[in-house]
Homo-oligomer: A and B are copies of this chain.
Amino acid sequence: MDRRLPAADRAPVSRTSRPGGGLTRRSALGLAAGALAAPALAASPGGADTLRGTGALGVVVERATGSLVIVDQIARAAIGRVTELGDLSHASVVYSPDQRFAYVFGRDGGLSKVDILTGAIAARVIQSGNAIGGAISDDGRLVAVSNYEPGGVRVFDAETLAPVADIPTGSKTIGLVDAPGRRFVFSLWDAGETWIADFASSAPAITRIEGMGKNPYDALITGDGRRYITGLFGEDGLTALDLWESPPAPRRILSGYGRGEEPLPVYKMPHLEGWALAGERFVLPAIGRHEVLWVDARSLEEVGRTATHGQPVFAVARPGGRQVWVNFAHPLNDTVQVIDSASGEVVHTLNPGPAVLHMEFTARGHEVWVSVRDAGRVDVYDTGTFEKRAEIAAESPSGIFFTARAHRMGL
């Protein structure tokens, strides 16, 4: 794909530069809540004291520089930057219910609470050596982080980031999501188990579900918080739990869903985060094939496939589910395809540029933001006409996270 990339489009970014490294060490020495200086907002219109609603804000992860760009969906513009957030490769973000604070989960175990109104880091802890993802409880009071090293899940007070609970699992822990009723659900890579940690009371009650399958590598929860589904690295198929059951019994589904043909690293597997619900079907990326799969949302059985440009990484439904937008793995990652949910046909192909890493829709789906990492840009498209509405500069942008996520489950 690099052939198609004019040299002038390349952003002058060094992939090895990680200015957050120093911060990481300082924080590990005990500088936690409130101890860090607030970086100035670059290009903040009206200054940090501007009264504004937070419903149409968001952040874009700049993975190479350990920073975030704060964005405004209505202005289609960057309004600030927050730096010194550590290693943000594979970083993810959740929001407080008031949509003022972004909790940023770094790969280096850093957990940062960022005030997107002022650009300040309100609190920051290094809670492990190597983490993968986090979640916030439905009441917004608890933030949980899933750890590779030393494994387990750690839970923090969302206000202060003070530790609340430590749940050792004796395993790399993956697929952490929130579920209704102040619960977190996660899976154990080594043990093939899923655990439900229920924080309705002060001490968490743990439900252990065995027999999930060999080496769960990722998981998702459906948008209604009901079904938890794990991908398996060690065997074909997926395992589903119905969280409305008590206790839920594991059920194997999609036996034709092959395991990866390559050994680790796990991140080469397609992302399971949030299957797209499109009408009566989920759509999900096939593994190692140029296809997406359609799965009946009730039976969880495969009901069709659509051939795509490359190996899908994310298949994301436009809110309402009328269309599904798909991006692809290297080296076909300069392209995005749009699939009609009713017919299952590709109706449009876009070529945003080199290394399309993520797509995020506005809350009601009229526009979609696309990060084009190696062009140093986030592009905004009209989902009706497919016209590009804006380009926003960013350093090696990866994940895009809008504040509307605060109001959804399992993100």
Contacts from A to B (Cβ < 8 Å): 49, 51-57, 73-74, 95-101, 117-118, 138-140, 178, 180-182, 200, 224-226, 244, 277, 279-280, 298, 318-322, 341-342, 362-367, 384-385, 403-404, 406-409
How many copies the complex holds: the figure is 2
Contact of A55 among B51, B97, B182 (CB under 8 A): B97
Question: Are B225 and A74 in contact (CB-based, < 8 A)?
Answer: no
Sort A-B residue pairs by CB-CB distance and give the 7 closest, nearest first. Answer: A53-B100, A55-B99, A53-B98, A363-B407, A138-B364, A225-B320, A56-B98
Question: Are B51 and A342 in contact (CB-based, < 8 A)?
Answer: no
Question: Are A55 and B365 in contact (CB-based, < 8 A)?
Answer: no
Label chain A's interface by main secondary structure. Answer: loop
Question: Are B139 and A366 in contact (CB-based, < 8 A)?
Answer: yes
Write the nearest CB–CB distance from A119 to chain B, whole angstroms. 12
Question: Are A244 and B180 in contact (CB-based, < 8 A)?
Answer: no
Contact of A180 among B97, B224, B365 (CB under 8 A): B365
Question: Are B321 and A298 in contact (CB-based, < 8 A)?
Answer: no
Assembly CA distance A140 to B74 (angstroms):
9
Question: Are A366 and B100 in contact (CB-based, < 8 A)?
Answer: no
Among A97, A226, A321, find the residue whose CB has the most chain B CB atoms closer than 10 A: A97
Write the nearest CB–CB distance from A108 to chain B, whole angstroms. 27
Q: Provide 17 A-B residue pairs closer than 8 Å at the C-beta atoms, listed in order of the A residue.
A: A51-B51, A52-B98, A53-B96, A54-B98, A54-B99, A55-B98, A56-B99, A97-B364, A180-B319, A180-B366, A181-B384, A182-B366, A225-B322, A364-B408, A364-B409, A404-B407, A407-B407
Further contacts, 10 of them, CB under 8 A, given A180-B320, A200-B385, A363-B408? A49-B51, A52-B117, A55-B96, A55-B100, A180-B322, A180-B364, A224-B279, A224-B320, A226-B322, A320-B409
